[in-house]
Amino acid sequence: MLRSVFTKVIHDQWRILIAWAVFAGLWPALYIALYPSIGAVEEMQSLLDSMPPAIRQLFASSDLDISTPEGYLNIEMFSFVAPLLVMAYTVIAGGGATAGEEDKGTLDLLLANPIRRRRVLAEKSLAFLLGTAVIGLGMWLGLAAGALGAGVEVNLGLVGQAIVSALLLGLAFGSFAMAIGALTGQRWLAAGLALATSVAAFFLNGLGSLVDWLDAWRPVSPFYHYIANDPLVHGLDPVHAGVLVAGTLAWFAVAVVAFERRDLRR
Amino acid sequence: MAEPIIRADKLTKYYGRARGVIELDLEVQPGEVFGFLGPNGAGKTTTIRTLLDFIRPTAGRATIFGLDAHRDSLAIRRRIGYLPGELTLYESLSGRELLSYFAHLRGMLRDGRGEVLAERLDCDLGREIRTLSHGNRQKLGLIQALMADPELAILDEPTLGLDPLVQLEFFKIVDEIRAAGRTVFVSSHNLPEVERICDRVGIIREGRLLAVETVAGLKERALRRLELRFAEPVPVDLLAGVPGVRDLVVDGANLTCVVVGPVDPVLRTALRHEIEDVISHEPGLEEVFMAFYGGQAVGEAPDAA
Protein backbone atom coordinates (compact mmCIF):
# COMPACT_ATOMS: atom_id res chain seq x y z
CA MET A 1 0.00 0.00 0.00
CA LEU A 2 2.69 2.48 0.95
CA ARG A 3 4.65 2.36 -2.27
CA SER A 4 4.80 6.03 -3.16
CA VAL A 5 3.81 9.50 -2.01
CA PHE A 6 0.63 9.02 -4.08
CA THR A 7 -0.43 5.83 -2.32
CA LYS A 8 0.56 7.29 1.05
CA VAL A 9 -2.01 10.09 0.52
CA ILE A 10 -4.67 7.54 -0.43
CA HIS A 11 -3.70 5.44 2.61
CA ASP A 12 -4.09 8.47 4.87
CA GLN A 13 -7.28 9.82 3.33
CA TRP A 14 -9.47 7.01 2.08
CA ARG A 15 -11.68 6.72 5.15
CA ILE A 16 -12.44 10.42 5.46
CA LEU A 17 -12.76 10.66 1.68
CA ILE A 18 -15.38 7.92 1.45
CA ALA A 19 -17.28 9.50 4.33
CA TRP A 20 -17.17 12.89 2.63
CA ALA A 21 -18.27 11.46 -0.71
CA VAL A 22 -21.24 9.78 0.96
CA PHE A 23 -22.16 13.04 2.67
CA ALA A 24 -21.76 14.93 -0.60
CA GLY A 25 -24.12 12.40 -2.19
CA LEU A 26 -26.76 12.40 0.56
CA TRP A 27 -27.19 16.16 0.38
CA PRO A 28 -28.39 16.37 -3.25
CA ALA A 29 -30.23 13.06 -2.90
CA LEU A 30 -32.38 14.54 -0.15
CA TYR A 31 -32.98 17.78 -2.02
CA ILE A 32 -34.02 16.17 -5.25
CA ALA A 33 -36.19 13.64 -3.43
CA LEU A 34 -38.02 16.51 -1.75
CA TYR A 35 -38.73 18.28 -5.03
CA PRO A 36 -42.06 16.57 -5.89
CA SER A 37 -43.41 17.27 -2.43
CA ILE A 38 -42.92 21.01 -2.69
CA GLY A 39 -46.61 21.23 -3.45
CA ALA A 40 -47.06 24.94 -3.56
CA VAL A 41 -44.53 25.52 -6.32
CA GLU A 42 -46.37 28.56 -7.52
CA GLU A 43 -46.53 30.11 -4.08
CA MET A 44 -42.83 29.52 -3.61
CA GLN A 45 -42.14 30.94 -7.04
CA SER A 46 -44.02 34.14 -6.28
CA LEU A 47 -42.06 34.43 -3.05
CA LEU A 48 -38.84 34.09 -5.00
CA ASP A 49 -40.01 36.60 -7.56
CA SER A 50 -40.66 39.12 -4.83
CA MET A 51 -37.09 38.87 -3.53
CA PRO A 52 -34.71 41.73 -4.28
CA PRO A 53 -32.76 41.09 -7.46
CA ALA A 54 -29.44 41.27 -5.60
CA ILE A 55 -30.32 38.26 -3.48
CA ARG A 56 -31.74 36.42 -6.45
CA GLN A 57 -28.65 36.91 -8.52
CA LEU A 58 -26.29 35.78 -5.77
CA PHE A 59 -27.92 32.42 -5.42
CA ALA A 60 -28.72 31.47 -8.92
CA SER A 61 -26.93 31.20 -12.19
CA SER A 62 -29.97 31.54 -14.38
CA ASP A 63 -33.34 32.96 -13.57
CA LEU A 64 -34.79 31.86 -10.32
CA ASP A 65 -37.22 29.30 -11.52
CA ILE A 66 -38.13 26.36 -9.37
CA SER A 67 -40.83 25.15 -11.70
CA THR A 68 -38.22 22.92 -13.37
CA PRO A 69 -35.97 20.47 -11.54
CA GLU A 70 -32.95 22.17 -13.15
CA GLY A 71 -33.89 25.56 -11.79
CA TYR A 72 -34.52 24.04 -8.39
CA LEU A 73 -31.16 22.24 -8.41
CA ASN A 74 -29.37 25.39 -9.47
CA ILE A 75 -30.77 27.26 -6.52
CA GLU A 76 -30.48 24.60 -3.87
CA MET A 77 -27.38 22.75 -5.00
CA PHE A 78 -25.15 24.37 -7.57
CA SER A 79 -25.22 28.01 -6.52
CA PHE A 80 -22.96 27.39 -3.55
CA VAL A 81 -23.59 24.04 -1.83
CA ALA A 82 -21.84 21.95 -4.46
CA PRO A 83 -18.76 24.24 -4.66
CA LEU A 84 -18.58 24.25 -0.86
CA LEU A 85 -18.73 20.45 -0.66
CA VAL A 86 -15.89 20.15 -3.17
CA MET A 87 -13.76 23.01 -1.87
CA ALA A 88 -13.93 21.82 1.73
CA TYR A 89 -11.83 18.93 0.49
CA THR A 90 -9.62 20.50 -2.19
CA VAL A 91 -8.66 23.58 -0.17
CA ILE A 92 -7.77 21.70 3.00
CA ALA A 93 -5.95 18.96 1.08
CA GLY A 94 -4.13 21.45 -1.16
CA GLY A 95 -3.20 23.74 1.70
CA GLY A 96 -1.76 20.80 3.60
CA ALA A 97 -0.02 19.17 0.64
CA THR A 98 3.51 20.12 1.62
CA ALA A 99 2.73 22.68 4.31
CA GLY A 100 1.02 20.00 6.38
CA GLU A 101 4.19 17.94 6.54
CA GLU A 102 6.25 21.07 7.05
CA ASP A 103 4.00 22.15 9.95
CA LYS A 104 4.12 18.74 11.59
CA GLY A 105 7.83 18.30 10.97
CA THR A 106 7.84 15.18 8.79
CA LEU A 107 9.01 16.93 5.63
CA ASP A 108 12.73 16.65 6.41
CA LEU A 109 12.36 12.94 6.86
CA LEU A 110 10.40 12.54 3.62
CA LEU A 111 12.77 14.63 1.53
CA ALA A 112 15.85 12.85 2.87
CA ASN A 113 14.71 10.10 0.54
CA PRO A 114 15.79 10.35 -3.08
CA ILE A 115 12.70 12.14 -4.31
CA ARG A 116 12.46 15.59 -5.86
CA ARG A 117 10.37 18.26 -4.21
CA ARG A 118 8.34 18.78 -7.40
CA ARG A 119 7.62 15.07 -7.51
CA VAL A 120 6.16 15.20 -4.01
CA LEU A 121 3.86 17.99 -5.21
CA ALA A 122 2.94 16.14 -8.39
CA GLU A 123 2.12 12.85 -6.66
CA LYS A 124 0.09 14.57 -3.96
CA SER A 125 -1.78 16.57 -6.61
CA LEU A 126 -2.67 13.41 -8.51
CA ALA A 127 -3.95 11.83 -5.31
CA PHE A 128 -6.06 14.92 -4.58
CA LEU A 129 -7.36 14.82 -8.15
CA LEU A 130 -8.52 11.27 -7.53
CA GLY A 131 -10.05 12.33 -4.21
CA THR A 132 -11.91 15.19 -5.89
CA ALA A 133 -13.25 12.83 -8.53
CA VAL A 134 -14.50 10.46 -5.83
CA ILE A 135 -16.42 13.31 -4.21
CA GLY A 136 -17.89 14.27 -7.61
CA LEU A 137 -18.92 10.68 -8.19
CA GLY A 138 -20.55 10.59 -4.78
CA MET A 139 -22.55 13.71 -5.62
CA TRP A 140 -23.62 12.38 -8.97
CA LEU A 141 -24.64 8.97 -7.62
CA GLY A 142 -26.57 10.59 -4.79
CA LEU A 143 -28.37 12.94 -7.11
CA ALA A 144 -29.13 10.20 -9.62
CA ALA A 145 -30.43 7.86 -6.92
CA GLY A 146 -32.58 10.62 -5.42
CA ALA A 147 -34.00 11.60 -8.80
CA LEU A 148 -34.78 8.02 -9.81
CA GLY A 149 -36.25 7.19 -6.42
CA ALA A 150 -38.54 10.23 -6.40
CA GLY A 151 -39.37 10.01 -10.08
CA VAL A 152 -37.97 13.43 -10.91
CA GLU A 153 -36.91 13.80 -14.49
CA VAL A 154 -33.49 15.39 -14.84
CA ASN A 155 -30.85 14.98 -17.49
CA LEU A 156 -28.19 13.04 -15.58
CA GLY A 157 -25.62 13.75 -18.29
CA LEU A 158 -26.04 17.48 -17.76
CA VAL A 159 -26.01 16.96 -14.00
CA GLY A 160 -22.67 15.22 -14.48
CA GLN A 161 -21.34 18.15 -16.48
CA ALA A 162 -22.44 20.64 -13.85
CA ILE A 163 -20.73 18.54 -11.20
CA VAL A 164 -17.54 18.43 -13.29
CA SER A 165 -17.70 22.21 -13.49
CA ALA A 166 -17.92 22.34 -9.68
CA LEU A 167 -14.95 19.96 -9.42
CA LEU A 168 -12.87 22.16 -11.71
CA LEU A 169 -13.76 25.16 -9.57
CA GLY A 170 -12.69 23.26 -6.46
CA LEU A 171 -9.43 22.20 -8.07
CA ALA A 172 -8.60 25.78 -9.00
CA PHE A 173 -8.94 26.91 -5.38
CA GLY A 174 -7.22 23.76 -4.12
CA SER A 175 -4.23 24.40 -6.31
CA PHE A 176 -4.20 28.03 -5.17
CA ALA A 177 -4.12 26.79 -1.55
CA MET A 178 -1.29 24.40 -2.47
CA ALA A 179 0.71 27.27 -3.93
CA ILE A 180 0.27 29.39 -0.78
CA GLY A 181 1.27 26.39 1.32
CA ALA A 182 4.34 25.79 -0.84
CA LEU A 183 5.27 29.47 -0.55
CA THR A 184 4.78 29.85 3.19
CA GLY A 185 4.90 26.36 4.68
CA GLN A 186 1.80 27.21 6.71
CA ARG A 187 -1.16 24.99 6.01
CA TRP A 188 -3.93 26.88 7.82
CA LEU A 189 -2.85 30.18 6.37
CA ALA A 190 -2.98 28.55 2.95
CA ALA A 191 -6.40 26.98 3.43
CA GLY A 192 -7.81 30.09 5.10
CA LEU A 193 -6.57 32.42 2.41
CA ALA A 194 -7.97 30.19 -0.32
CA LEU A 195 -11.33 29.99 1.41
CA ALA A 196 -11.47 33.77 1.93
CA THR A 197 -10.57 34.30 -1.72
CA SER A 198 -13.34 31.95 -2.80
CA VAL A 199 -15.90 33.90 -0.77
CA ALA A 200 -14.73 37.11 -2.41
CA ALA A 201 -14.86 35.46 -5.83
CA PHE A 202 -18.38 34.22 -5.13
CA PHE A 203 -19.61 37.73 -4.36
CA LEU A 204 -17.70 39.28 -7.23
CA ASN A 205 -19.49 37.01 -9.65
CA GLY A 206 -22.90 37.41 -7.98
CA LEU A 207 -22.80 41.18 -7.54
CA GLY A 208 -21.04 41.71 -10.85
CA SER A 209 -24.19 40.75 -12.67
CA LEU A 210 -26.03 43.59 -10.89
CA VAL A 211 -23.49 46.38 -10.78
CA ASP A 212 -22.50 47.76 -14.13
CA TRP A 213 -18.93 48.69 -13.36
CA LEU A 214 -18.33 45.34 -11.65
CA ASP A 215 -19.65 43.37 -14.57
CA ALA A 216 -16.43 43.72 -16.53
CA TRP A 217 -14.55 42.12 -13.62
CA ARG A 218 -16.67 38.99 -13.38
CA PRO A 219 -14.33 36.91 -15.58
CA VAL A 220 -11.69 37.39 -12.88
CA SER A 221 -13.81 35.25 -10.57
CA PRO A 222 -13.52 31.48 -10.99
CA PHE A 223 -17.20 31.29 -10.01
CA TYR A 224 -18.07 33.10 -13.22
CA HIS A 225 -16.37 30.39 -15.26
CA TYR A 226 -17.96 27.74 -13.11
CA ILE A 227 -21.58 28.70 -13.54
CA ALA A 228 -22.18 31.78 -15.74
CA ASN A 229 -22.81 29.49 -18.68
CA ASP A 230 -25.32 27.46 -16.61
CA PRO A 231 -23.81 24.01 -17.28
CA LEU A 232 -26.86 22.26 -15.84
CA VAL A 233 -28.87 23.62 -18.76
CA HIS A 234 -26.30 24.19 -21.49
CA GLY A 235 -23.61 21.67 -20.61
CA LEU A 236 -19.97 22.29 -19.83
CA ASP A 237 -18.53 25.14 -21.88
CA PRO A 238 -15.04 24.26 -23.12
CA VAL A 239 -13.72 27.81 -22.84
CA HIS A 240 -14.93 28.38 -19.28
CA ALA A 241 -13.78 24.90 -18.23
CA GLY A 242 -10.47 25.58 -19.95
CA VAL A 243 -10.00 28.76 -17.94
CA LEU A 244 -10.48 26.81 -14.70
CA VAL A 245 -8.06 24.10 -15.82
CA ALA A 246 -5.51 26.69 -16.89
CA GLY A 247 -5.81 28.44 -13.52
CA THR A 248 -5.30 25.14 -11.71
CA LEU A 249 -2.18 24.36 -13.73
CA ALA A 250 -0.81 27.89 -13.30
CA TRP A 251 -1.09 27.71 -9.49
CA PHE A 252 0.46 24.26 -9.57
CA ALA A 253 3.40 25.74 -11.47
CA VAL A 254 3.69 28.50 -8.88
CA ALA A 255 3.68 25.85 -6.14
CA VAL A 256 6.48 23.91 -7.85
CA VAL A 257 8.70 26.92 -8.42
CA ALA A 258 8.13 28.28 -4.91
CA PHE A 259 8.68 24.94 -3.25
CA GLU A 260 11.82 24.10 -5.18
CA ARG A 261 13.45 27.40 -4.30
CA ARG A 262 12.48 27.82 -0.70
CA ASP A 263 14.34 27.10 2.54
CA LEU A 264 12.23 24.54 4.35
CA ARG A 265 11.17 25.23 7.91
CA ARG A 266 11.75 22.73 10.64
CA MET B 1 44.39 11.52 0.14
CA ALA B 2 41.13 10.29 -1.32
CA GLU B 3 38.41 12.76 -2.19
CA PRO B 4 36.58 13.78 0.97
CA ILE B 5 33.06 12.44 1.47
CA ILE B 6 31.83 15.78 2.79
CA ARG B 7 33.46 19.05 1.99
CA ALA B 8 32.23 22.45 3.09
CA ASP B 9 33.91 25.45 1.56
CA LYS B 10 33.34 28.76 3.38
CA LEU B 11 29.78 27.58 3.96
CA THR B 12 27.71 30.45 5.32
CA LYS B 13 24.04 30.61 6.22
CA TYR B 14 22.07 33.50 7.61
CA TYR B 15 18.34 33.43 8.35
CA GLY B 16 17.55 37.01 7.57
CA ARG B 17 19.97 38.68 9.95
CA ALA B 18 20.15 35.76 12.36
CA ARG B 19 23.32 33.73 12.31
CA GLY B 20 23.28 30.11 11.16
CA VAL B 21 26.85 29.20 10.32
CA ILE B 22 29.71 31.41 9.21
CA GLU B 23 32.45 30.49 6.71
CA LEU B 24 32.54 26.88 7.73
CA ASP B 25 35.38 24.83 6.22
CA LEU B 26 35.12 21.13 6.79
CA GLU B 27 36.36 17.87 5.31
CA VAL B 28 35.13 14.44 6.28
CA GLN B 29 37.20 11.56 4.93
CA PRO B 30 35.90 8.22 3.63
CA GLY B 31 35.54 5.58 6.30
CA GLU B 32 35.73 7.87 9.29
CA VAL B 33 33.23 8.58 12.00
CA PHE B 34 33.21 12.34 12.29
CA GLY B 35 31.71 14.05 15.29
CA PHE B 36 30.21 17.52 15.05
CA LEU B 37 30.35 18.81 18.59
CA GLY B 38 28.76 21.95 19.92
CA PRO B 39 26.06 23.30 22.21
CA ASN B 40 22.45 23.67 21.06
CA GLY B 41 22.06 26.53 18.63
CA ALA B 42 25.71 26.45 17.55
CA GLY B 43 24.81 25.75 13.92
CA LYS B 44 25.09 21.96 13.76
CA THR B 45 21.60 21.38 12.41
CA THR B 46 21.90 24.32 10.02
CA THR B 47 25.03 22.76 8.53
CA ILE B 48 23.39 19.36 8.23
CA ARG B 49 20.22 20.72 6.64
CA THR B 50 22.36 22.56 4.10
CA LEU B 51 24.12 19.31 3.23
CA LEU B 52 20.72 17.74 2.55
CA ASP B 53 19.56 20.72 0.45
CA PHE B 54 16.64 21.52 2.77
CA ILE B 55 18.09 25.02 3.03
CA ARG B 56 20.45 26.84 0.68
CA PRO B 57 23.66 28.54 1.74
CA THR B 58 23.91 32.32 1.80
CA ALA B 59 27.48 31.97 0.59
CA GLY B 60 30.02 29.24 0.04
CA ARG B 61 29.13 25.72 -0.96
CA ALA B 62 29.14 22.11 0.14
CA THR B 63 29.90 18.95 -1.79
CA ILE B 64 29.14 15.36 -0.86
CA PHE B 65 30.84 12.51 -2.74
CA GLY B 66 32.29 15.32 -4.84
CA LEU B 67 28.75 16.29 -5.96
CA ASP B 68 27.18 19.69 -5.40
CA ALA B 69 24.88 19.58 -2.38
CA HIS B 70 22.19 21.62 -4.14
CA ARG B 71 22.47 20.79 -7.83
CA ASP B 72 23.08 17.07 -7.39
CA SER B 73 20.97 16.60 -4.30
CA LEU B 74 18.92 13.73 -5.71
CA ALA B 75 22.00 11.67 -6.59
CA ILE B 76 23.46 12.43 -3.17
CA ARG B 77 20.32 11.44 -1.31
CA ARG B 78 20.33 8.05 -3.03
CA ARG B 79 23.54 7.32 -1.18
CA ILE B 80 22.95 8.76 2.28
CA GLY B 81 20.84 7.97 5.30
CA TYR B 82 19.62 10.76 7.55
CA LEU B 83 18.28 11.09 11.06
CA PRO B 84 16.74 14.54 11.70
CA GLY B 85 17.55 16.37 14.90
CA GLU B 86 14.00 16.91 16.09
CA LEU B 87 12.45 13.75 14.86
CA THR B 88 8.79 13.73 13.83
CA LEU B 89 7.33 10.57 12.32
CA TYR B 90 4.01 9.71 10.68
CA GLU B 91 1.86 9.14 13.76
CA SER B 92 -0.77 6.94 12.14
CA LEU B 93 1.67 4.43 10.62
CA SER B 94 3.20 1.47 12.39
CA GLY B 95 6.97 1.23 12.53
CA ARG B 96 6.90 -1.48 9.89
CA GLU B 97 4.73 0.62 7.57
CA LEU B 98 7.07 3.59 7.97
CA LEU B 99 10.12 1.48 7.06
CA SER B 100 8.26 -0.08 4.14
CA TYR B 101 7.24 3.37 2.84
CA PHE B 102 10.79 4.71 2.91
CA ALA B 103 12.20 1.46 1.51
CA HIS B 104 9.90 1.93 -1.50
CA LEU B 105 10.84 5.59 -1.90
CA ARG B 106 14.48 4.49 -1.86
CA GLY B 107 13.80 1.78 -4.39
CA MET B 108 15.15 -0.85 -2.01
CA LEU B 109 14.47 -4.35 -3.22
CA ARG B 110 14.10 -5.74 0.28
CA ASP B 111 13.98 -4.16 3.69
CA GLY B 112 15.10 -7.13 5.78
CA ARG B 113 17.92 -5.01 7.15
CA GLY B 114 15.35 -2.84 8.92
CA GLU B 115 14.00 -5.88 10.77
CA VAL B 116 17.53 -6.88 11.82
CA LEU B 117 18.26 -3.41 13.18
CA ALA B 118 14.89 -3.33 14.96
CA GLU B 119 15.72 -6.63 16.61
CA ARG B 120 19.10 -5.35 17.78
CA LEU B 121 17.72 -2.07 19.10
CA ASP B 122 14.76 -3.85 20.68
CA CYS B 123 12.18 -1.85 18.71
CA ASP B 124 8.64 -3.16 18.25
CA LEU B 125 7.77 -2.46 14.60
CA GLY B 126 4.18 -3.62 14.93
CA ARG B 127 2.99 -0.74 17.08
CA GLU B 128 1.44 2.42 15.78
CA ILE B 129 3.94 5.25 16.09
CA ARG B 130 1.55 7.48 18.07
CA THR B 131 1.76 4.97 20.94
CA LEU B 132 5.57 4.89 21.04
CA SER B 133 7.77 6.53 23.65
CA HIS B 134 10.35 9.09 22.64
CA GLY B 135 13.13 6.51 22.86
CA ASN B 136 11.30 4.08 20.61
CA ARG B 137 10.62 6.78 18.04
CA GLN B 138 14.31 7.62 18.07
CA LYS B 139 15.11 3.95 17.40
CA LEU B 140 12.81 4.03 14.37
CA GLY B 141 14.56 7.16 13.18
CA LEU B 142 17.91 5.41 13.43
CA ILE B 143 16.64 2.29 11.71
CA GLN B 144 15.24 4.19 8.72
CA ALA B 145 18.51 6.12 8.43
CA LEU B 146 20.69 3.00 8.46
CA MET B 147 18.55 0.32 6.81
CA ALA B 148 19.80 0.97 3.29
CA ASP B 149 23.44 0.56 4.38
CA PRO B 150 24.16 4.08 3.09
CA GLU B 151 27.67 5.13 2.08
CA LEU B 152 27.21 8.11 4.37
CA ALA B 153 24.98 8.30 7.43
CA ILE B 154 24.21 11.79 8.71
CA LEU B 155 22.84 11.51 12.23
CA ASP B 156 21.70 14.63 14.07
CA GLU B 157 21.83 13.92 17.83
CA PRO B 158 21.37 10.16 17.40
CA THR B 159 21.35 9.12 21.06
CA LEU B 160 18.75 11.66 22.18
CA GLY B 161 16.29 9.80 24.41
CA LEU B 162 17.92 6.37 24.02
CA ASP B 163 18.37 4.43 27.23
CA PRO B 164 21.96 3.41 28.07
CA LEU B 165 21.73 -0.21 26.91
CA VAL B 166 20.33 0.82 23.54
CA GLN B 167 23.03 3.49 23.30
CA LEU B 168 25.68 0.79 23.71
CA GLU B 169 24.09 -1.26 20.93
CA PHE B 170 24.01 1.84 18.76
CA PHE B 171 27.73 2.45 19.45
CA LYS B 172 28.41 -1.13 18.33
CA ILE B 173 26.46 -0.56 15.12
CA VAL B 174 28.52 2.56 14.43
CA ASP B 175 31.70 0.57 15.00
CA GLU B 176 30.48 -1.99 12.46
CA ILE B 177 29.72 0.72 9.93
CA ARG B 178 33.24 2.06 10.35
CA ALA B 179 34.67 -1.45 10.01
CA ALA B 180 32.74 -1.85 6.76
CA GLY B 181 34.46 1.28 5.43
CA ARG B 182 31.43 3.53 5.35
CA THR B 183 31.27 7.04 6.72
CA VAL B 184 29.27 8.50 9.57
CA PHE B 185 28.71 12.19 10.33
CA VAL B 186 27.21 12.57 13.76
CA SER B 187 26.27 15.73 15.62
CA SER B 188 26.22 15.84 19.39
CA HIS B 189 26.49 18.09 22.38
CA ASN B 190 27.76 15.20 24.48
CA LEU B 191 31.55 14.92 24.69
CA PRO B 192 31.87 11.39 26.14
CA GLU B 193 29.58 10.05 23.41
CA VAL B 194 31.66 11.68 20.71
CA GLU B 195 34.86 10.39 22.28
CA ARG B 196 33.39 6.91 22.36
CA ILE B 197 32.37 6.60 18.70
CA CYS B 198 34.30 9.16 16.66
CA ASP B 199 37.69 9.29 15.01
CA ARG B 200 37.77 13.02 14.58
CA VAL B 201 35.74 15.83 16.03
CA GLY B 202 34.86 19.26 14.72
CA ILE B 203 34.04 21.72 17.45
CA ILE B 204 31.47 24.37 16.54
CA ARG B 205 30.32 27.32 18.57
CA GLU B 206 28.16 30.28 17.65
CA GLY B 207 28.25 29.38 14.00
CA ARG B 208 32.00 29.03 13.67
CA LEU B 209 34.14 25.95 13.51
CA LEU B 210 36.70 26.38 16.29
CA ALA B 211 38.87 23.34 15.68
CA VAL B 212 39.02 19.89 14.19
CA GLU B 213 40.80 17.41 16.43
CA THR B 214 41.37 13.71 16.62
CA VAL B 215 39.65 12.17 19.59
CA ALA B 216 43.09 11.30 20.97
CA GLY B 217 44.11 14.93 20.72
CA LEU B 218 40.90 16.01 22.34
CA LYS B 219 41.51 13.72 25.29
CA GLU B 220 45.04 14.97 25.59
CA ARG B 221 43.88 18.52 25.98
CA ALA B 222 40.70 17.86 27.85
CA LEU B 223 40.22 19.16 31.35
CA ARG B 224 38.99 16.81 34.02
CA ARG B 225 38.15 17.62 37.59
CA LEU B 226 39.39 14.99 40.01
CA GLU B 227 38.42 14.43 43.63
CA LEU B 228 40.45 12.00 45.75
CA ARG B 229 39.58 10.90 49.27
CA PHE B 230 42.47 9.29 51.17
CA ALA B 231 42.41 7.05 54.21
CA GLU B 232 44.42 9.62 56.13
CA PRO B 233 45.65 13.19 55.62
CA VAL B 234 48.18 13.62 52.82
CA PRO B 235 50.96 16.20 52.30
CA VAL B 236 49.76 19.45 50.82
CA ASP B 237 52.31 19.21 48.01
CA LEU B 238 51.47 15.60 47.13
CA LEU B 239 50.69 16.31 43.48
CA ALA B 240 52.79 19.41 43.09
CA GLY B 241 54.99 19.11 40.08
CA VAL B 242 52.93 16.33 38.42
CA PRO B 243 52.40 17.36 34.79
CA GLY B 244 48.91 18.64 33.93
CA VAL B 245 47.77 19.28 37.48
CA ARG B 246 46.14 22.63 38.17
CA ASP B 247 44.08 24.28 40.86
CA LEU B 248 45.34 21.84 43.49
CA VAL B 249 43.55 22.01 46.84
CA VAL B 250 44.44 19.63 49.67
CA ASP B 251 42.31 19.70 52.80
CA GLY B 252 43.41 17.00 55.20
CA ALA B 253 42.50 13.69 53.57
CA ASN B 254 40.57 15.34 50.70
CA LEU B 255 42.20 16.46 47.51
CA THR B 256 40.69 18.16 44.50
CA CYS B 257 42.43 19.30 41.35
CA VAL B 258 41.97 19.86 37.63
CA VAL B 259 43.92 17.57 35.33
CA VAL B 260 44.79 18.51 31.77
CA GLY B 261 45.44 15.49 29.60
CA PRO B 262 46.09 11.95 30.84
CA VAL B 263 45.23 11.15 34.47
CA ASP B 264 47.65 8.23 34.66
CA PRO B 265 50.66 10.08 36.19
CA VAL B 266 48.36 11.77 38.68
CA LEU B 267 46.84 8.52 39.90
CA ARG B 268 50.25 6.78 40.07
CA THR B 269 51.59 9.50 42.30
CA ALA B 270 48.48 9.54 44.46
CA LEU B 271 48.60 5.77 44.97
CA ARG B 272 51.58 6.13 47.27
CA HIS B 273 48.84 6.71 49.81
CA GLU B 274 45.81 4.59 50.45
CA ILE B 275 42.85 5.91 48.42
CA GLU B 276 39.29 5.41 49.64
CA ASP B 277 37.40 7.05 46.82
CA VAL B 278 37.96 8.59 43.40
CA ILE B 279 35.47 10.91 41.73
CA SER B 280 36.22 12.03 38.21
CA HIS B 281 34.03 14.63 36.57
CA GLU B 282 33.81 14.26 32.82
CA PRO B 283 34.64 17.54 31.25
CA GLY B 284 31.62 19.40 29.95
CA LEU B 285 31.52 21.15 26.62
CA GLU B 286 32.43 24.50 28.11
CA GLU B 287 35.50 22.95 29.71
CA VAL B 288 36.58 21.66 26.33
CA PHE B 289 36.18 25.11 24.88
CA MET B 290 38.18 26.48 27.78
CA ALA B 291 40.90 23.95 27.09
CA PHE B 292 41.16 25.10 23.49
CA TYR B 293 40.53 28.76 24.00
CA GLY B 294 41.42 29.38 27.59
CA GLY B 295 41.88 33.08 27.03
CA GLN B 296 38.60 33.49 25.22
CA ALA B 297 35.99 32.79 27.80
CA VAL B 298 32.39 31.88 27.13
CA GLY B 299 30.41 34.65 25.52
CA GLU B 300 33.46 36.43 24.18
CA ALA B 301 33.57 34.54 20.94
CA PRO B 302 33.29 36.72 17.88
CA ASP B 303 29.69 37.39 17.08
CA ALA B 304 28.74 38.05 13.51
CA ALA B 305 25.18 39.16 14.07
Contact (Cβ atoms closer than 8 angstroms) between residue A9 and residue A123: yes
- The class of domain B6-219 in CATH terms is alpha beta
Amino acid A35: pLDDT: 87
Alpha-carbon gap, residue A139 to A73, rounded angstroms? 12
Per-residue pLDDT, B156: 96
* Angstroms from B272 CA to nearest CA on chain A: 57
**For helices B95-105 and B134-146, angle between their N-to-C axes, nearest 10 degrees:** 20
Residues of chain A positioned with their CB less than 8 A from the CB of B102: 113
Find chain A residues with C-beta within 8 A of B69's C-beta: none
Spatial separation of the C-alpha atoms in residues B107 and B85, rounded to whole Å: 24
Q: What is the mean pLDDT of residues A53-81?
A: 76
> A137 near A85, Cβ under 8 Å?
no
Measured in angstroms, the CA of A111 and the nearest CA of chain B are apart by: 8
On whether the CB atoms of residues B67 and B47 are closer than 8 A, the answer is: no
Chain A: residue whose CA lies nearest to B107: A114
Find chain A residues with C-beta within 8 A of B78's C-beta: 114
Q: Indicate yes or no: CB of B144 within 8 angstroms of CB of A105.
A: no
Integer Rg of chain B from CA: 22
Q: What tens digit of pLDDT does each residue of B209-253 get? A: 988 999 888 877 777 889 999 999 999 888 888 888 888 999 999
- Whether residue A59 is predicted with pLDDT greater than 70 in this model: the reply is no
**How many angstroms separate the CA atoms of B155 and B29, rounded?**
16
Contact between chains at B106 and A114 (C-beta distance less than 8 A)? yes
Q: B264 and chain A: CB distance < 8 Å anywhere?
A: no
So where are chain A's domains? 5-261
CA dist., res. B147 & res. B252, Å (int): 57
| CB-count burial class (<10 Å; 0-12, 13-18, 19+) for A233 | middle
B243 or A107, higher pLDDT: A107
Say what the ipTM of the complex is.
0.90
Question: Are the beta carbons of B106 and A113 separated by less than 8 Å?
Answer: yes
Distance from CA of B82 to the nearest CA of A (A): 6
Q: Is A256 helix (H, G, I), strand (E, B) or coil?
A: helix
Pick among A3, A16, A109 to test the B interface (most B CBs inside 10 A): A109
What pLDDT does residue B195 have? Answer: 87
Q: Which helix (H) or strand (E) holds A25?
A: helix A5-34
Residues of A in Cβ contact (< 8 Å) with B130: none
pLDDT, tens only, A202-260: 999 988 878 888 888 999 999 999 998 899 999 999 999 999 999 999 999 999 999 99
Residue, of A50 and B303, whose pLDDT is higher: A50
Please check whether residue A113 touches B, CB under 8 A: yes
- One-letter-per-residue 3-state SS of chain B: CCCCCEEEEEEEEEECCEEEEEEEEEEECCCCEEEEECCCCCCHHHHHHHHCCCCCCCEEEEEECCEECCCCHHHHHCCEEEECCCCCCCCCCEHHHHHHHHHHHCCCCCCHHHHHHHHHHCCCCCCEHHHCCHHHHHHHHHHHHHCCCCCEEEEECCCCCCCHHHHHHHHHHHHHHHHCCCEEEEEECCHHHHHHHCCEEEEEECCEEEEEEEHHHHHHHCEEEEEEEECCCCCCCCCCCCCCEEEEEEECCEEEEEEECCCHHHHHHHCCCCEEEEEEECCCHHHHHHHHCCCCCCCCCCCCC
Interface probe for A, chosen from B70, B88, B100 (most Cβ of A below 10 Å), is: B88
Whether the per-residue pLDDT at A33 is higher than 70: the answer is: yes
Tell me which H or E stretch contains A105. none
Q: Write down the pLDDT at residue B305.
A: 33
CATH topology of domain B223-282: Alpha-Beta Plaits (3.30.70)
Q: Which residue of B has its CA nearest to A116?
A: B74
Facing B97 at nearest CB: one of A2, A106, A114: A2
Instruction: Please state the domain extents for chain B.
Output: 6-219, 223-282
Q: Give the model's pLDDT for residue B111.
A: 62
Chain A touched by B144 (CB under 8 Å): yes
